[in-house]
Structure 1
Amino acid sequence: MTLSSPLLLIIGLLVMAGLAWAAVVTARRRAALLARAGVAVPAGRRPYLGVGLTIAGVGVLAIATAGPAAMVPVPRTAGTVILAIDVSNSMGADDVAPTRLAAAQRAARAFVAAQPENVDIGVVAFERGALTTARPDADHSVALKAIDRLKITGGTSLGTAITASLSAITGKQVTIGRDIGYWPSATIVMFSDGQNLGADVEPAAILAQRANVHIHTVGVGTTAGTTVKVDGYHLQTSLEQDTLTLIAQTTGGAYHPASDTARLDGIADTIDLRLTVSDEPLPLAGALIGLALVLLTAGAALTVLRSGRVI
């Protein structure tokens, strides 16, 4: 059980202790006065039961005001989507306005906005290396903020993008040739112009395929291409659809041109949602307040019946 305001519990218990002390002192004085007057209390009589119930009610009320909550397992259906977004130098090209990266960010944000709450979304930014910028989370605002922070840097390694995305899905470092288990509830959506400087694209795609992780690729750019300035040099860059199509086909996904990003919403239908169990807080204050009212009412009623007055 957890408490949102432990200080209120301490204050309430101190009040209860004070009431209990006052009740004991009053009982002793009353017993002494009755003894001096020669009045005997009938055996088995409990004249202070009402006071005890009242004090117990105060104690329960003190616990209730502290905001208690019990952690209970709650089942829910959930899927996982990793948005792998290319941030290599070629994504700075302006053959897609205003730039390829900006277009990819726009499409990624639209995709996130279309997903239901039971889909956890993470973000992986990749160039020659890759970095998980947002772990899979049901709070989609985390993914949106990660998308907005992306900046152009470095070359491109699509194989590294795939293994980094698989690492984000499994929660552990993934390398080529390693058995990572079966993850049918996970999907990778890769936004890239398809240009690749690594040699491990196909092995990485096969690794995803064996784990039953579908990869949907989104081609950003034009086949005609344009030039982009890198370290003072003007380099020709164009959309390479063949590589992106190969990745998608190998893993059971689909290739989507950036001009057709509206169809990305349908990717959610390919996710096999799994049943997960997570601990969630169950507030107990309402039930405890109800119990406290019962105790206080019973205590007041017994006190009135036995003594003719409310203590």
Structure 2
Amino acid sequence: MSLWGFASPWWFLLLLVLAALVAGYVWVQRRARKETLRFSNLELLDRVAPKRQGWFKHAPPALLGVAVLVLTIALAGPTSEQRIPRNRATVMLTVDVSLSMMAKDVEPSRLEAAKIAAKEFADKLTPGINLGLVSFAGTATVMTMPTTDRTSVKQAIDNLTLSEATATGDGINASMSAIDSFGKMVGGPEGAPPARIVLMADGGQTIPRDLDAPRGAYTKAGEAKKANIPITTISFGTRHGTLDIEGQPQPVDVDDEAMEEIAGLSGGEFHKAASAEQLRRVYATLGEQIGYEIKHTDASKPWLVLGTLTAIVAAALALLFGRRLP
């Protein structure tokens, strides 16, 4: 454990005092031995000197030194990491429902696989987190406002239907608006709860074509950054996805680069999922990251108990062997 694992590491300065006491004890023992050797009448010395106790006589002060060491660690405030379930946080699941989600490069189709994985994500997410749903194609729709009721969210996921075009920026904007409205309703003295957008899409933006346009995904990602709402993007699908349009196969490749850029501009993370199983793993990872936080909690009590018990044993041994406290 590094010094950063202690709340008050300056207490370790007491170890300098402990080192001085150990040095003093060694000096006193050596001085006493020299004084003993000066005693010329060894026969008389054997009569008046107490019986030697060997190393046992050093046990009480040694244990006392250990007790001081352990109690110093307790005073320094050791901490430990614990996974604490998050509460109040808001997550907007933002799902692409453009026609490209009909592609069957992911069985049974991109959309159906996405629905299954999204519902599993909802089930496993920490109960205290508010989860909402936004769908987007040519326009964006808030399917469910943030709520802890997972049943309503899963019903909304089942009702996702396909439509034409892809307005990724509108999907991000609708999610931010829902987060803002919900934050105003539930925000207390501590302010609005922390929020995040989980954006799952398979293709490039088509409305507008320019990602940097006012409605574009890059512009909205920058706005999310300013609002302190990171966007975790999931690029779902493969490079060889196709759709049959009037009997002709049309490629519907995923746009990993755009999705990665959206995540970077917003301060979020990018994930790639080329299969239903990979998508489940991504959602499982996000559930752990979003649902729990690592907090440093006080871990000094075991050290305090150990130090106190060691000091008691040291005192007991001193009374037993020397009939005096060390």
Measured against the shorter chain, the TM-score band is 0.5 to 0.7
List per-residue Cα deviations over 1:164-205 (Å, max 9, x = no partner).
111111128xxxxxxxxx967111111110321123111100
Overall identity of the aligned pairs, in %? 33
Aligned to 1:145: 155
Question: Does the 8 A contact of 1:183 with 1:212 survive in 2?
Answer: no
Deviation at 1:227, TM superposition (A): 2.7
SS state at 2:89 partner: strand
Question: Does the 8 A contact of 1:228 with 1:237 survive in 2?
Answer: no
Change (3 A) 1:184 1:206: farther
Are 1:265 and 2:280 counterparts? no
Which amino acid in the other structure matches residue 249 of structure 1? G
SS state at 2:112 partner: helix
Aligned to 1:62: none
Are 1:135 and 2:145 counterparts? yes
TM-score between both structures, scaled by the size of structure 2: 0.54
List per-residue Cα deviations over 1:230-271 (Å, max 9, x = no partner).
x77643211110111111111122122224331333334555
Aligned residue among 223, 226, 251 for 1:210: 226
C-alpha separation between the residues in 2 aligned to 1:271 and 1:210?
A: 20
Aligned 1:147-186 pairs, distance under 5 A: 147-171=157-181, 185-186=194-195
Aligned to 1:187: 196
Question: Does the 8 A contact of 2:263 with 2:269 survive in 1?
Answer: yes
Change (3 A) 1:248 1:184: farther
Aligned to 1:241: 256
Question: Does the 8 A contact of 2:129 with 2:291 survive in 1?
Answer: no
C-alpha separation between the residues in 2 aligned to 1:133 and 1:115?
A: 18
Question: Does the 8 A contact of 2:98 with 2:137 survive in 1?
Answer: yes
Question: Does the 8 A contact of 1:123 with 1:132 survive in 2?
Answer: yes
SS state at 1:78 partner: coil
Change (3 A) 1:123 1:228: farther
List per-residue Cα deviations over 1:87-111 (Å, max 9, x = no partner).
1111111111111111111221121
Change (3 A) 1:132 1:148: same
Aligned residue among 222, 226, 239 for 2:238: 222
SS state at 2:127 partner: coil
Which amino acid in the other structure matches residue 193 of structure 1? D
SS state at 1:171 partner: helix
Aligned 1:1-311 pairs, distance under 5 A: 77-171=87-181, 185-197=194-206, 198=208, 199=210, 200-229=216-245, 234-258=249-273, 259=275, 260-261=278-279, 262-268=281-287, 270-271=289-290
Structure having the larger proportion of residues in helix = 2
Which amino acid in the other structure matches residue 266 of structure 1? T
Aligned to 1:297: none
TM-score between both structures, scaled by the size of structure 1: 0.56
C-alpha separation between the residues in 2 aligned to 1:194 and 1:128?
A: 13
Question: Does the 8 A contact of 1:127 with 1:156 survive in 2?
Answer: yes
List per-residue Cα deviations over 1:129-153 (Å, max 9, x = no partner).
0000111001111110000000111
Structure having the larger proportion of residues in strand = 1
SS state at 1:111 partner: helix
Question: Does the 8 A contact of 1:218 with 1:257 survive in 2?
Answer: yes
SS state at 2:153 partner: helix
Change (3 A) 1:193 1:118: same
Question: Does the 8 A contact of 1:186 with 1:271 survive in 2?
Answer: no
C-alpha separation between the residues in 2 aligned to 1:113 and 1:140?
A: 7
After superposition, the CA RMSD in angstroms is 2.4
SS state at 1:248 partner: helix
* Structure 1 unaligned spans of 5+: 1-75, 173-181, 275-311
Question: Does the 8 A contact of 1:124 with 1:131 survive in 2?
Answer: yes
